[in-house]
Structure 1
Amino acid sequence: MVEHDHVEEIAQVLDGQATGRDSYVDASWRRCVEVYGMDPTSRVPAHIVTDSEFRTHREQADWMIGAARSSLQRLFRQVAGQNYVLLLTDAKGVCVDFFGDDRLVDELRGAGLYLGSNWSEDLAGTCGVGACIYTGEPVTVHQDDHFGSAHTGLSCTSAPIYDSLGQLAAVLDISLLRSPSPKSSQNLAMSLVTSAARRVEMANLMAASRREWVLRFSTSPEFLDVDPEAAVSLDGSGRVIGATHAATRMLSRGKGLIGEHIDSLLGLSVDDLPDLMRDRPTEERVVSLSDGGAVFGHAIAPQRPRRAQKDRSTPEKRAVGGVLATLAGSDPTMARLLAQAERLAPTHVPLLICGESGSGKTKLARAIHMASRRRGFVALDCAGAMPEQIEAALSAQPEPGTLLLRGVEDLRPEIVRALPALLDAHAHMRPIATSGHAPGALLSGETLPAALYHRLAGSVLELPPLRERQDLGWLIERLLGRRCGGEMRLTPSARSELMARDWPGNLRELGNVLDVACALAESTVIDLPDLPAAPRPREETLDLEAVLDACNWNMARTARRLGVNRSTILRRIRKEGLQAPQ
C-alpha cells in the first residue's frame, strides 16, 4: 500500500468507516491521532532508551528474563533460518532481551528490533508490542497495520506474559523485517508466541511456588505432566495465591482468582490434592469445573515443609545455605550478593561476575554451579581460546551444565563473532562470564559488542575487593585453617598487621601470605617476623615526609598525590614515627 492510500484509510477510520482490519488496529489508529497527535506520514525512527535507562529496565526485569530465557531459546530454535527476531519487552514496552540473526543485526537495529528499543504505543504508534500492552491480548500487527510509515514493512506478532498475581509483566514478540502479504501468513507465529508466553508464565509460577502446592491443568491427559495449559499455587488452607493467565480465564468466572478457596472453584478440596499426583495414571486425574465441564489435574506437593510463618527477612539478613554460605562471614555487601546468587543459581539467567584480580570470581562461579545442581562444568580462559576449542568443550557436555568464561574482556575478535551462535547451538549450557573490568567499562570501552554483553550479562554480580570487606578477620582465620592446618595460630601483633594491609592482590595475595607465614614459622605460632613484607606502592618509595610537607600535611591531598588510601598514609606516619610541624 502506498503512503497516500495508507493515510486515506486512516482518515476513513477516523470518520467511523469500516476498513476490514482487526478492531484493535482501528482503535489504535484512532488513539495515535486523537490521543498522541501523531502524523502517519512522518518517518520517526525507533525510540532507543539511554544506556542508564536500559540498565534500570533490565535490572527490574531480571526475574522475568530468567523465567523467559529457556522458552525464548526453544522458540528461536523452532524458527531458525526463517529470519524471525524475538523480542522480550517489559510491561512498558522496552526490549530487555533479544534473539536474532547476527547477519541482520544492523538492519534489525535500524528497524528498532533490538535491545533498548521502546515499542510503547505512544512512541512507536500502532505496533505489535504496543497493541498487546494496551489490549492485554495476543495480536498481530502486519505490515500496513502499523500506523507510522517507518514500520509498515514489518510484521509483528506479540503475546502478553502475566505474573502470578495477574499483572501484565512482559510482552513476547516475534517479528519479521519482510513477510508475505497475507496476514494469515503469521498464524503459525501467533501459535508459537502464545505457547511460549504460556510456558514462561508456568515457569515463573513454578519457580515462585517451591514451598506451596501447585495444581496444573490440561484438557488432554497426554500433555498433563509435560506441557500443561494452566496452573494455580495454593497455600496450606487451599487459598489461591498465584495463577497463570490461562488459569484465571479458565476458573475465574469473570473475577480474579487470588484469595479464592480452591473448593469454591473446583470439585475438590486441598485434602484431595495428593490423589492428583504422578502415582496415578493421568487419565484418572479428572477435576470437575464449576460450569459442569472437566479437565485433567496434576498436583505438585511443596518441596519443603511449610513454615508456620513466612520468612519476612530481607535478602541481606536471610541465611544463605549450601556451598555459597562458605564464601563470606559477617559482611553486609557479601550477604546481599550471595543471597542474590542463591536465588539466581537454579535459573537459566546468564551471569557476569566482576571484581578485581584475586577477589574470588571463579570460586563464586563454581559455587553457583554447585548450587544450581547442573551437571557438566566447562571452564575456559578467554585469553587465547579459539572457537573450535569452545565448540569441542561444549559438544562434550550433552547434559545441562555451566560454561565458565574466565576473563571475558580478553576474548579474541573471532570468538566475539562466533560466541552468540555457539551459545544458541548449546542452549543447555548456562554461561557465567568473569571480568576484571567494571560492567560499564566493558560496554563504554567497546570491549564487548552490546549484543554479546547483554547475552552474557543477564544479571551482574560485583565482588567487593578484600580491603572493603568487613569479614576480613573471618577470612584470615578460615584460610589459615585450610592452608596451614588447624594447629597454626596468629599472635595479636601478626593479626593486627594482616588486618591493616591494603591487599591489592585480594584473596589470592592473602592466601600466599599465609602459605609463606606457615612455612617460615618455627612453631605453631605465627608472629610478625614470619609475615612476608607487604608490597609498597611505587610512589611510596618517595620521601613520605617531603610529600606531606609539600601538601601542608593534608592527609587527603597526600593520599591523592601518592595514589593510595588515606588510611595507608596514617599507618605509614605511625610506623615511621613522623610528626606534623608545630
Structure 2
Amino acid sequence: MGELTAHAEHVYTCTQRDSAVANSSIVASWRRCIAMHRLAPEQIRVSLRLSGEELKSARQASENLIADALSELDRLCATVGKSGCCLILTDSNGVALERRGVAGDDKHFHELGLWTGSVWTEASIGTNGIGTAIADGRSVTILRDQHFFCSNITLSCTTAPIRDHRGQLAAALDISTCRDDVNEVTLGILGQMARDAALRIEINLFRSAFAGARFLMVPAASNPTAALLAVDRHDLVLGATRAARLALKLDDSRIAAGLPAADALQEQSISANEDLVDAERAALLRALSRSSGNVSQAAVALGISRATLHRKMKRLNLH
C-alpha cells in the first residue's frame, strides 16, 4: 500500500514542475491525464471494454489493417510469446483488435485488460504504452511505475505506432509483460522488435492500398526501406509512405496534382523534347526485349512497319 501511495505522490509532485514536464514525455503524459482527462493516479481503474457488437464494428472498420498485420503478429508472438509477453494490435482509437500470447498467461493479462475489446487510451487508463504512443504519434516505452495509475505499476510495455498509406496514424502495436526481471535494456530490445514489425505492417498496408503499382525506394531518406513511392505506368506518383513524404516534402495536394516520380526524386531535369525522346526509346527497348530482339515481331507489337522501326532505332542509336 505504501508503494502505491508513494507512486501517486511522485506523480503529483512531478506534474507540478514545468521543467519536469518539458524534459520528460512521461511526465507530460501524466500532466495530460490530470489536467485534460481529470484522472487521479491513486484510482483503481481497469480499461474500458467494448460490447461484442462494438468490437465487431471496430474490427470491420479495420479489416484491411488486421489482414495485413496477422502474419507479423504471429511471427512476433512466436519470438516473444513464451517469454511472458502479450501482443496487442489496436486501431487509432486504442481499441484492442487482435491479441497474441501464451495460454498459460491468458488469465493474468485478461484481468489487466490486455484483451480484445479493451480500450487503451490515456483518457481511459492513463499513461500507458498504447495510449501515449497514439497521443504522441511516436514509439513509447513505459516501465512499471512510469504508468499513471498505481494499479498498473507491475506492467511494462513498449508500443510502436502504425501509419496508413497516407502517413496517417492508423494503429498501434504493443508488447506488454509483467515479469519482475524486465529492465530498460530488455524493453529496448522488445521495443525495436515492435518497431520493426510495425514498419513491415505499414509496408503491407501501403502495397495493398496501391496494388498493381510500381514501388520506388527513396535513397535520400534516413530509412530507405520505409520510404517508398507508389508509381503508375506513366511514372506519376500515386502515393508515398510517411518516411517518403518527410524526405521529399510531399503532401496529398502535391500527389493529387499529378507529380512525376522523377520530379519527386529531384532527378536531373531534362527538356520536354528530351523527355519525349526518352519515352520513345524506352518503348522501343521494351518491345525489342519482349520479342528477344526480333525486329519484325517488335514492329508488329508497336503497330508500325519494320522499316519505320529500323529508322527509329537508327535515330535513337539502338542498333
User: Whole-Å Cα distance in 2 between the matches of residues 32 and 43 of structure 1?
Assistant: 14
Alpha-carbon shift at residue 139 of structure 1 (Å): 0.7
Amino acid at match of 1:106: K
Map of 1:378 onto structure 2: none
Amino acid at match of 1:232: L
Map of 1:53 onto structure 2: 54
Which structure's CA Rg is the greater one?
1
Q: Please say which of residues 5-14 and 110-119 is displaced more in the overlay.
A: 5-14
Alpha-carbon shift at residue 217 of structure 1 (Å): 4.7
User: Whole-Å Cα distance in 2 between the matches of residues 250 and 199 of structure 1?
Assistant: 19
- 1:531-568 Cα offsets, whole Å, 9 max, x none, are xxxxxxxxxxxxxxxxxxxxxxxxxxxxxxxxxxxxxx
C-alpha contact 1:24 1:131 (8 A) present in aligned 2: no
Alpha-carbon shift at residue 97 of structure 1 (Å): 0.6
User: Whole-Å Cα distance in 2 between the matches of residues 103 and 241 of structure 1?
Assistant: 46
Map of 2:299 onto structure 1: none
Partner SS, residue 83 of structure 2: coil
Map of 1:42 onto structure 2: 43
Alpha-carbon shift at residue 213 of structure 1 (Å): 2.0
Q: Report how many residues are paired.
A: 267
User: Whole-Å Cα distance in 2 between the matches of residues 72 and 181 of structure 1?
Assistant: 21
Partner SS, residue 2 of structure 1: helix
Alignment pair present for 1:240 and 2:241 = no
User: Whole-Å Cα distance in 1 between the matches of residues 239 and 123 of structure 2?
Assistant: 31
Partner SS, residue 123 of structure 2: helix
C-alpha contact 2:226 2:243 (8 A) present in aligned 1: yes
Map of 1:464 onto structure 2: none
User: Whole-Å Cα distance in 2 between the matches of residues 75 and 217 of structure 1?
Assistant: 27
Map of 1:580 onto structure 2: none
Aligned CA RMSD, in angstroms, stands at 2.8
User: Whole-Å Cα distance in 1 between the matches of residues 114 and 22 of structure 2?
Assistant: 24
Amino acid at match of 1:63: N
C-alpha contact 2:49 2:119 (8 A) present in aligned 1: yes
Map of 1:231 onto structure 2: 228
Map of 2:204 onto structure 1: 203
Map of 1:105 onto structure 2: 106
Distance 1:78 1:157, change over 3 A: same
**Please, which runs of 5 or more residues in structure 1 have no aligned partner?**
275-582
Distance 1:251 1:74, change over 3 A: farther
User: Whole-Å Cα distance in 1 between the matches of residues 235 and 10 of structure 2?
Assistant: 53
Superposition map of 1:10-159 within 5 A = 10-16=11-17, 18=19, 23-159=24-160
**Please, which runs of 5 or more residues in structure 2 have no aligned partner?**
270-274, 283-319
C-alpha contact 2:21 2:28 (8 A) present in aligned 1: no
C-alpha contact 1:93 1:171 (8 A) present in aligned 2: yes
Determine which of 249, 258, 282 is the counterpart of 1:252. 249
Distance 1:12 1:241, change over 3 A: farther
- 1:309-345 Cα offsets, whole Å, 9 max, x none, are xxxxxxxxxxxxxxxxxxxxxxxxxxxxxxxxxxxxx
User: Whole-Å Cα distance in 2 between the matches of residues 181 and 198 of structure 1?
Assistant: 24
Amino acid at match of 1:263: A
Superposition map of 1:168-567 within 5 A = 168-180=169-181, 182-217=183-218, 228-252=225-249, 258-259=255-256, 260-268=259-267
C-alpha contact 1:160 1:168 (8 A) present in aligned 2: yes
C-alpha contact 2:21 2:27 (8 A) present in aligned 1: no
Q: Please say which of residues 137-146 and 244-253 is displaced more in the overlay.
A: 244-253
- 1:325-379 Cα offsets, whole Å, 9 max, x none, are xxxxxxxxxxxxxxxxxxxxxxxxxxxxxxxxxxxxxxxxxxxxxxxxxxxxxxx
Map of 2:301 onto structure 1: none
User: Whole-Å Cα distance in 1 between the matches of residues 176 and 85 of structure 2?
Assistant: 6
User: Whole-Å Cα distance in 1 between the matches of residues 233 and 220 of structure 2?
Assistant: 26
Amino acid at match of 1:233: A
Amino acid at match of 1:3: L
Alpha-carbon shift at residue 116 of structure 1 (Å): 0.6
Alpha-carbon shift at residue 264 of structure 1 (Å): 3.2
User: Whole-Å Cα distance in 2 between the matches of residues 15 and 267 of structure 1?
Assistant: 49
Amino acid at match of 1:234: V
Distance 1:240 1:124, change over 3 A: farther
Alpha-carbon shift at residue 179 of structure 1 (Å): 4.3
- 1:198-221 Cα offsets, whole Å, 9 max, x none, are 10011111122222221135689x
Amino acid at match of 2:142: V
Map of 2:8 onto structure 1: 7
Partner SS, residue 93 of structure 1: coil
Amino acid at match of 2:207: M
Map of 1:557 onto structure 2: none
Amino acid at match of 1:164: H
Distance 1:3 1:92, change over 3 A: same
Amino acid at match of 1:138: S
Alpha-carbon shift at residue 125 of structure 1 (Å): 0.6
C-alpha contact 1:202 1:230 (8 A) present in aligned 2: no
Q: Please say which of residues 58-67 and 1-10 is displaced more in the overlay.
A: 1-10
Distance 1:179 1:239, change over 3 A: farther
C-alpha contact 1:158 1:172 (8 A) present in aligned 2: yes
Alpha-carbon shift at residue 122 of structure 1 (Å): 0.5
- 1:40-87 Cα offsets, whole Å, 9 max, x none, are 101112211111111110111111000111111111122242111110
Alpha-carbon shift at residue 168 of structure 1 (Å): 1.1
Distance 1:87 1:188, change over 3 A: same
TM-score normalized by the length of structure 2: 0.76
Distance 1:108 1:122, change over 3 A: same
Alpha-carbon shift at residue 18 of structure 1 (Å): 4.9
C-alpha contact 2:8 2:41 (8 A) present in aligned 1: yes
User: Whole-Å Cα distance in 2 between the matches of residues 21 and 82 of structure 1?
Assistant: 35
User: Whole-Å Cα distance in 2 between the matches of residues 74 and 57 of structure 1?
Assistant: 24
- Which protein has greater RCO, CA pairs closer than 8 Å, 6+ apart? 2
- Report percent identity of matched pairs: 30
C-alpha contact 2:220 2:247 (8 A) present in aligned 1: no
Partner SS, residue 46 of structure 2: coil
Distance 1:189 1:20, change over 3 A: farther
User: Whole-Å Cα distance in 1 between the matches of residues 101 and 22 of structure 2?
Assistant: 29
Amino acid at match of 1:27: A
Partner SS, residue 207 of structure 2: helix
C-alpha contact 1:12 1:19 (8 A) present in aligned 2: no
Alpha-carbon shift at residue 7 of structure 1 (Å): 1.8
User: Whole-Å Cα distance in 2 between the matches of residues 139 and 251 of structure 1?
Assistant: 26
User: Whole-Å Cα distance in 2 between the matches of residues 19 and 48 of structure 1?
Assistant: 33
